[in-house]
Each structure stands twice: as C-alpha cells, then as structure tokens.
Amino acid sequence: MFEDIVRKLDTIDNDFRELKSLLRIEDKRREIDSLQLKMGEASFWDNPKMVNEVVSRVKQLKEDVETSEILEKKIEDVKDMINVLDSSYQGQLLKEVNEIENLLDSFKMRVFLNGQFDEANAIVEINSGAGGTEACDWAQMLFRMYLRWAEEKRFDVKVVNEVRGEEVGFKNISFFVEGRYAYGFLKSEKGVHRLVRISPFDANKRRHTSFASVDVVPEVEDISMEIKQEDLKIETYRASGHGGQHVNVTDSAVRITHIPTGIVVSCQNERSQYQNKQTALRVLRAKIYEHKREEQKKSLEKLSGDKKKIEWGSQIRSYVLFPYLLVKDHRTDFEDTDAKGVLDGKLDGFILSYLKYNLNELDASKR
C-alpha cells in the first residue's frame, strides 16, 4: 500500500505540472507584477472604473497563482514525509494525498471554465414540483445543499425572494451566489432534480418520489441592454418570511413583470422598497438576457436542422435514499454512493464530470 501511495502522488504531481502549464501560471505571475507597477503610478487612481477593473483582475490572477503555490507546497511536503517516514505512517500519508487530490480536482475545473459568463455570479431559482409538503421539503434540501457547497467555496449567498411551503420548506426560493466562477460551476445544476426516499411526513413510512426544478442564470453587468420602463409592470406587496420581519410593516416587497417576455421576478429580503426594486431589476436583467440567448439558440438549431430535443427542466439527476444510497447524473452517468455527503454539499465530482461532458458536446457540435 505504501508503494501505491507513492505512485498516486507521482500521478498527482504530473497532473499538477500539466495543469500549471494549461493555466499559464508563470504568465499570470508576470501579469500581476505588471499590473501592480501600474497601480503604483500616481495617475492610476484618477480613473475609478479602471481601478475597479485592474484590482479585480489582480485579485483573480492571485487566486490562481496562490492556489498553485499551495498545491505545489503540499505536494513537496508529502514527498519529504515519504522520504523520512516508514510504512507505519501510511494512513496519515494517504489522508494527506487524498486532500491534495481533492484540491487538485477543484483546481482542474478552471481549465473547463472558459465560457463567456463562467466567471460571473450566479442567480439560482429552485421551484418545488407537484407533491405539496414532500416537494417543498425537497426544495429546501436542495437549497441547503447549494448553501453548504457555496460555504466550502467561500462564496457569498444572498436570498432574494422566498415563498414558504404551507408546512415546511419552500415552494420557491431565489438567491445570488456571488464569487468568481459561481455561474461556471452551477450551470451544471440547471434542470429537474428527483428525490426517492421514505417520507418523514408519511405515518405509514412509504417510499415517495419528489421533484424540484433548478434554474441558473449568470448575472450580467457589462452587457448593453435597454429595458424600457413601459415594458415593466411593478407591484408592491407586504414582505414576509426570512428577512421580511425587518420590513413587513409596509408594502416593501416588489414584484416586476416584463410584459414582452412574461418574465416575473420578486424581491422581499432587502430592508427597503427601493433596495428590493434594485435587486429585482438585477435579476430581471439577467433573466431577460438569458431568455434572448435561448431564443437565438433555438432559432439557430431550427435553421441548421438540429434534431436535438431542447427542454428546460429535463430530469438531470436522481438522489436515491431508499432502498439504497446513490446519486446519479443522467447526462454524464457520474455516480456517488455517498448520497448524504452530496446533500451536504459534496458536488465537485458532479460539476467536474458535467464540465468535461459539456466540453465534449461542444467539440462534437463543431465537427
């Protein structure tokens, strides 16, 4: 087993060095030095827009370089440990190697994140399917799963709007996930998620199947897109639910309907009607842009004679908690028997397999 650990570490080391080359880590180090020299010029701070762009770029570059440095140090540390420790320490060494492998897997994802909006924040919406209490509880379980995943990634989660179930959970909840690559990671989650379990709400302990849909769009900031005031129907209502207790003495919640597309967004978790309106407009802008992208995509496929069936909400993943434990992605066939771990935010395996699958699909479409 000691020899297996050594071989595994060698494989990880080789993968890491290849990844460093793909991500051009040395080029990024030089770009950081160049930008920091620019930031040292007196005139640099006179242009707020440029300041924001450069500071943001330096932060992103440093994130890649620092992650690379952490990985390199961990690999070298374990190599040193192997040279001085004997096989009685193989349990400790295996734990260290597995941790490095997990960190490397997360780092690998960045190679596949080269889409137009992959670095953007994500706007996620979860809707419970038919099934009343069961489905609302499932929607809440999914929200908790994404919350745990985001916490591990050190992303910020900001709830925009929620509609509580009559007994438990959510009929609907929408939220921002803010952080670099949030959309690139979470675009894999768009679709219907299916849960099979023994219902905790059924006195006869029967098996139930529940469904919830997840929608994910990128937050677009630099896209030139005019939203006409006359195309909007803006309504206010009494806020309620989590966050609403601060503002529910007035009609501070806002619902905006974009009349041409029929898209409806709501926000109730800010402290004032103005803030709720501004946040709702952020979400609306992203959804209108995504709607236009989908319409263009359908038109192109119609012209090219593409017979692929495109359905928003097609079932993508099943979570089975009874009679066995298994989570399976139906697009990639990736499986994980640690279903409880997945529901606690262990999603990287599914995300990475989807990113690889999506890249292969894009390559095939270009042939």
Enumerate the CATH 3.30.160.20 domain ranges in the chain, comma separated: 229-302
How does pLDDT run along the chain (367 residues), one tens digit per residue?
678 888 999 999 999 998 898 888 999 999 999 999 999 998 999 998 889 889 988 988 998 899 999 999 999 999 999 888 877 888 889 999 999 998 898 888 877 887 889 989 999 999 999 878 999 999 999 999 999 999 999 999 999 999 999 999 999 999 999 998 999 999 999 999 999 999 998 888 889 999 999 999 999 876 667 789 999 999 999 876 554 444 444 678 999 999 999 999 999 999 899 999 999 999 999 999 999 988 887 776 665 454 433 334 468 999 999 999 999 999 999 999 999 999 999 999 999 899 988 876 655 554 4
Topology (CATH) of 122-221+311-366: Alpha-Beta Plaits (3.30.70)
Enumerate the CATH 3.30.70.1660 domain ranges in the chain, comma separated: 122-221+311-366
Under CATH, which number does the domain 229-302 receive?
A: 3.30.160.20
From residue 351, alpha-carbon distances to 26, 133, 168, 186, 348 in Å are 27, 29, 29, 8, 5
Cα torsion angle, 51, 185, 269, 341, sign: negative
- In order, the DSSP letters of 146-175 are HHHHHHHHT-EEEEEEEEE-SSSSEEEEEE
CATH class for the region spanning 2-112:
mainly alpha
Calpha distance 204→233 (Å, rounded):
47
Q: What is the pTM of this model?
A: 0.76
Enumerate the CATH 1.20.58.410 domain ranges in the chain, comma separated: 2-112
- In order, the DSSP letters of 50-112 are HHHHHHHHHHHHHHHHHHHHHHHHHHHHHHHHHHH--GGGHHHHHHHHHHHHHHHHHHHHHHH
Nearest Cα neighbor of 330 from 315, 345, 346, 342 is: 315
Give residue 318's identity as a one-letter amino acid code: S
Maximal C-alpha separation, the chain: 75
